[in-house]
A and B are shown apart, each in its own frame.
Chain A
Amino acid sequence: MRLGVLAIQGNFEAHAKAFAEAGAEVFEVRTTADLEAADALVLPGGESTTMLKLLHEEGLWDALRQACHSKPVFATCAGAILLAKDVHHPEQASLGLVDIGVERNAYGRQVHSTVAQIITGEGQTLEAVFIRAPIIRRVGEGVRVLARYAGDPVLVEQDHYLVATFHPELTKDRTLHRLFLEKAARVPA
């Protein structure tokens, strides 16, 4: 399986390294041809406004939606903002593929960024790094909440999508990367 990491802007390199450590074959995605070549996709953290701008300018928007629609996708932070059905603070365009509503920079500015321990529904403890993170304010019917922090969902799943508002690639723990690879292997190509 070839895993494509969207490399328009952001910490795509850390994701690529984390997935390589978890045993995946990884490459960086910058064009429609790259999108087609990927069996599964990662939408990394970074600045969602920058990504939106370039995805539109470079004619990648529709191809990305198409690819996300049909392939397993792991999205973190800015990636979660791109996938969400609605985005607030401020409102901005999104792919609208995962039935959640997110508020950008919802914990505040950088001085409020933090590292926290979260516990998944299965009782597993994960270290979660939140960087100017969004908060998932609304969860649709088809969305399963896998973990919460301070009462808010921070790790959710819908069909072939896995979405985190924090940064598993910035820790040494590869649990979520492996979880996604297992999930991706189950989805028929």
Chain B
Amino acid sequence: MFLTDQFRVKVGLAEMLKGGVIMDVTNAEQALIAEKAGACAVMALVKVPSDIRKEGGVARMSPVSKIREIQQTVSIPVMAKARIGHFMEARVLEALEVDFIDESEVLTPADDEHHIWKHDFKVPFVCGARNLGEALRRIAEGAALIRTKGEAGSGNIVEAVRHMRTIVKEMRAIRAYSVDELTAESKKHQAPLELMLYIHEHGKLPVPNFSAGGVATPADAALVMHLGAETVFVGSGIFKSPDPAAFAKAIVKATTYYKDPLKVLEASEELPDGMPGLDIRQLEETDLMATRGW
């Protein structure tokens, strides 16, 4: 399943996005700002996560006209979000020829038990995960890219850090087990044994692993890159900041040069404070987006 040409081409695009920043945008004007700042892709969604959080109600796929407008405006890959389990939103996005679909917990789930069977699509999918088991279940369904969930729209990096550390730590542990202990681990993580064996052998996911949910500053981006992210998704952190173009540019620079603190300092030099943040501990359980997904 994972050696088919179709799957390799899907993962191939994820490979090309490495070392970059993917920015949430709601319209063509924002997409242009993102591209000019050096984004390696844009993600079309109906509202940035912090607005979805504030306004409540049902968050769906972006209006088609908005996505088309974005596709006509930029030359970088255009991704778009579909609701969890909503395979018809995904089919529409595929027919629109978006370059990647994010089956995303940021939108209101359409199915509270099942995710989309992603192998049937020509377009690649990215899915969120909080731990290794969740990541492997999504990969088993055909996701060509994983992003840790973080807590979208919070401006708080703590959940992104927790999820990245969890996945990396769990992979390290799987590597240390002996092969005859993996069936029990597979059961514990609720993940296919075949993929557990892959982790055991390679110490990493069979698809790239990016970070999302809570990045608000250049230092946040550099932090998650150090913890194992291969690229950074930034949602509200850009267009809810006091100066989107400046924040976008600075986060791109900090992601490329995350190993060099002087460059991250340079990137941060002229920025004001980032978007307003939320203390995750004060959010109600029902307000959390990261717990959506099964």
* Chain A residues in the interface with B (C-beta under 8 A): 7-14, 30, 45-47, 49-50, 53-54, 57-58, 77-78, 89-90, 104-105, 108-111, 113-115, 129, 131-132, 167, 170
User: Could you tell me the distance between the alpha carbons of A129 and B13 in the complex, rounded to whole angstroms?
Assistant: 10
CB of B37 closer than 8 Å to a CB of A: yes
Give every chain A residue within 8 A of B77 (Cβ-Cβ). 47, 109-110, 132
Candidates A13, A89, A108, A129; contact of B12 at CB < 8 Å: A129
Asked whether A54 and B256 contact (CB < 8 A) given A115-B8, A131-B13, the answer is yes
A116 nearest CB neighbor, chain B only:
B5
Number of chain B residues close to chain A: CB under 8 A? 37
- With a cutoff of 8 Å between Cβ atoms, the chain A residues found around residue B257 in the complex are 30
> Interface on chain A toward B: helix, strand, loop, or mixed SS?
loop
Residues of B participating in the A interface, judged by any CB pair closer than 8 Å: 5, 8-9, 12-13, 15-20, 35-41, 71, 75-78, 94, 97-100, 122-124, 249, 252-253, 256-257, 260
| Residue among A7, A49, A111 having the largest count of chain B Cβ atoms under 10 Å | A111
Q: What is the count of residue pairs linking A and B with beta-carbon distances less than 8 angstroms?
A: 111
B9 partner residues in chain A, CB cutoff 8 A: 113-115, 129, 131
- Which of B20, B39, B97, B124 counts the most A-chain CB atoms under 10 A from its CB? B20
Q: Collect the chain B residues with CB atoms within 8 Å of residue A78's CB.
A: 16
How close is A182's CB to chain B, nearest CB, in angstroms?
26
- Do A170 and B12 touch across chains, with their CB atoms under 8 A apart? yes
Cα-based distance from A7 to B259 in the complex (angstroms): 12
CA gap between A89 and B281 in the complex, in Å = 48
Beyond contacts A10-B20, A53-B38, A132-B13: 18 other A-B pairs, Cβ-Cβ < 8 A, are A9-B18, A9-B19, A30-B256, A46-B16, A49-B75, A50-B252, A53-B37, A54-B256, A57-B249, A109-B78, A109-B99, A113-B9, A114-B9, A129-B9, A129-B12, A131-B16, A170-B12, A170-B15
Complex contacts, A30 vs chain B, CB 8 Å = 256-257, 260
Q: Is A49 a contact partner of B76 (Cβ separation < 8 A)?
A: yes
A47 touching B41, Cβ below 8 Å: yes
A47-B41, A129-B8 known; A10-B252 Cβ under 8 A:
no
B38/A45 in contact, CB under 8 A? no
Closest to B39 in A: A50
Q: In the bound complex, what is the Cα–Cα distance between A128 and B289 (angstroms)?
A: 40
List of B residues within 8 angstroms of A12 by Cβ: 18-19
Contact of A10 among B5, B18, B71, B78 (CB under 8 A): B18
Q: Are A14 and B15 in contact (CB under 8 A)?
A: yes
CA distance A9 to B125 in the complex (A): 21
Among B41, B75, B97, B253, contact of A57 (Cβ-Cβ < 8 Å) = B253
Query: Are B38 and A110 touching (Cβ within 8 A)?
Result: no
A58 to B267, CA, bound (A): 11
CB pair A46 B18 closer than 8 Å: yes
Report which residue of A11, A114, A167 has the largest number of chain B beta carbons within 10 angstroms of its beta carbon.
A11
| Residue from the list A10, A108, A111 in contact with B16, Cβ < 8 A | A10
Q: Which of A14, A47, A49 has the most CB of B within 10 A?
A: A47
Inter-chain contact A90/B12, CB cutoff 8 Å:
no
